[in-house]
Amino acid sequence: MPAVHEGEPSKLAIFAMVARRSGPHLIEATIAPAVLFYVALLTAGLGAAYLAALVWSYAALGRRAVRQEPVPAILVIGVIGITVRTLVAVISRSSFVYFFQPALASIVMGSVFLISVAVGRPLIATLAHEFWPFSPEVAARPRVVRLFRRLTLLWAGVNLASAALTTGLLMSLPLGAFLAVKQLSGLGLTAGAVCLTVSMSLRTARREGLHAGPSTLPLPAILPEPLPYEQLAF
From start to end of 34-85, where are the E strands? Answer: none
Position 2 in a domain: no
The pLDDT of residue 166:
92
Position 189 in a domain: yes
pTM: 0.69
Position 224 in a domain: yes
The pLDDT of residue 97:
87
pLDDT in tens, 150-197: 999 999 999 999 999 999 999 999 887 888 888 888 888 988 888 888
Please check whether residue 151 is in contact with residue 219, taking contact to mean a CB–CB distance below 8 angstroms: no
The pLDDT of residue 218:
44
Task: Write out the residue range of the structural domain in which residue 163 sits.
Answer: 11-231
The pLDDT of residue 233:
45
Q: How far apart are CA 109 and CA 226, in angstroms?
A: 10
The pLDDT of residue 145:
87
Position 4 in a domain: no
Q: How far apart are CA 37 and CA 45, in angstroms?
A: 10
Position 169 in a domain: yes
Number of domains forming the structure of the chain? 1
Number of Cβ within a 10 Å radius of residue 227: 27
Q: How far apart are CA 38 and CA 232, in angstroms?
A: 11
Position 153 in a domain: yes
Position 208 in a domain: yes
Position 178 in a domain: yes
- State which residues of the chain have pLDDT below 50: 1-7, 212-233
